[in-house]
Amino acid sequence: MSTLPRAFRWLALGGLALGLGWSPLVPADTPASIVVGYLGMERPDDQEPLSVLDPVIDDEGLQGARLGLNDNNATAQFLGQEFVLHEAVVAQGGDVGEALESLVEQGVEWIVSGLPAAALNEVMAHPARGDRVVFNAWAPDDELRGEACHPELYHTTPSRRMLADALAQFLGFKQWDRWALVYGNTDEDRILADVLRASAERYGHRVVGDRMWPHDPMARRAEGGFHAIQREIPVFLQDLPEHDVLVIADETDYFGEYFPFQTWAPRPVVGTQGLMATPWHRAHESWGAVQLQRRFEKLADRWMTPRDFGAWLALRSLGEAAARTGSVEREAVLDYMLSDEFELAGYLGFPVSYRTWNHQLRQPILITGPRMVASVSPQEGYLHPRTPLDALGADEGESQCRF
């Protein structure tokens, strides 16, 4: 029973692809399908946001893909196309390969990844993937866009370096050039601290001192926790050299949220907490973003996160390329996605598009406080011969990626 409809879909796909080459409009009763699989991983149990105001989300990324699917299909209905989404979310430490195999068996031709770097690398190397393209909507690792890049791997979520550069540009605009750096004791935070140092150097800032916060996971709900924090943090920071901002690198959100208003010197807190660089935020409503926020909230009953946004961008990239080319065939879609013609409206003011040298989506980055957007990078005055967006992240000349 289950194989029949699938076989039918393949027939329909093969037959229609020919027709679509001639005209972007085919009868709506025989749509040509693009079948996408979302492959995610459950959140680690011990990783909940530090602030009780932030919800614990179990469908992050996935809901963004679902909205992208809806948005694509709203247009596809006029073009004789149809998008289909299959979903697979594995447990922590679960078998990613098995989930991939099951998606492929369901006819998935494109994959959106909500996986951390190690699991994503596993997918890229897995034989079941074949030559299917994977969109990374989750992992910020620069390595995936550098030495470990892959021609069939596209990144809709920004790299750490893009976020750090976006923040560095804004701090340059403010002329807050002396940074004190506090980072966590996870591998991710050590990597981020190095990335922040590189961004500081690129944009003429100085890291005047740094400290590693020797945190252990703390109870999220602990009455009176601030009494201890109020005494601990100023002492921890008091002998840092004179600085303009305190930069926090705490990607897992273990401790950074404690720092605003507890510093020794009266300095703003920026980085992963306080004033943040992020591809998406609920406070962002410019350039029609309010429409996307509302559509998402109607669908998911919660706010859209950066990872939801990354998954939405992946689906929309496919939707835009399929609509423009009138084709659902992989080669035509990819050719268009990498061409100069490809311009996706991402509610960020500038069109977003893929860098040909590492398949990273170039995009504006929000600079935002917890409750209000402060700015959007690239900042005015930071020039680039191609586009100001390419001043964020590894540029063509310095990229370690060789396809």
Partner 1 sequence: MPLLNRTISPGLLGLALGALTLLPASALAERIFVSNEKDNTISVIDGASLEVVETISVGRRPRSMAFSSDGSELFVAVGDDEAIDMIDLETLQVVRSQASGDDPEVIRVDPNRPYIYVSNEDDNIVSVLDYERRTLVTEIPVGVEPEGLGISPDGRWLVSTTETSNMAHIIDTETMEAVHHRLVGARPRHAEFTHDGREAWVSAEIAGTVSILDMEETFDVKHVIRFEVPGVPQETVQAVGIALTSDGRYGFVALGPSNRVAVVDQQTYEVLDYILVGQRVWHLALNGDESRLYTTNGVSGDVTMIEVDSLRAVKSIPVGRFPWGVIVEP
Enumerate binding residues for partner 1 (CB under 8 A): 24-25, 71, 74-75, 78-79, 288, 291, 294-295, 320, 323-324, 343-345, 349-351, 387-389
For residue 401, report the phi and psi dihedrals to the nearest 5 degrees: -80, 130
**Closer to partner 1 at the Cβ: 71 or 101?**
71
Beta carbons within 8 Å of 254's beta carbon, 6+ residues apart? 50, 184, 186, 215, 217, 218
Q: How far is the CB of 311 from partner 1 (least distance, A)?
A: 16
Q: How far is the CB of 64 from partner 1 (least distance, A)?
A: 14
Lookup: tokens for 327:
């084709």
Q: How far is the CB of 402 from partner 1 (least distance, A)?
A: 28
Q: How far is the CB of 204 from partner 1 (least distance, A)?
A: 21
**Closer to partner 1 at the Cβ: 303 or 350?**
350
Q: How far is the CB of 360 from partner 1 (least distance, A)?
A: 17
Q: How far is the CB of 369 from partner 1 (least distance, A)?
A: 20
Q: How far is the CB of 86 from partner 1 (least distance, A)?
A: 22
Pair 171, 245: CB distance under 8 Å:
yes
**Closer to partner 1 at the Cβ: 58 or 340?**
340
**Closer to partner 1 at the Cβ: 60 or 320?**
320
**Closer to partner 1 at the Cβ: 126 or 282?**
282
Lookup: tokens for 219:
């109870």
Pair 107, 37: CB distance under 8 Å:
no
**Closer to partner 1 at the Cβ: 18 or 25?**
25
Written as one letter, the residue type at 69 is: L
**Closer to partner 1 at the Cβ: 71 or 143?**
71
Lookup: tokens for 136:
């990374």
Q: How far is the CB of 137 from partner 1 (least distance, A)?
A: 18
**Closer to partner 1 at the Cβ: 18 or 290?**
290
Pairing relation of β-strands 178-183 and 206-212? parallel
**Closer to partner 1 at the Cβ: 272 or 353?**
353
Q: How far is the CB of 75 from partner 1 (least distance, A)?
A: 4
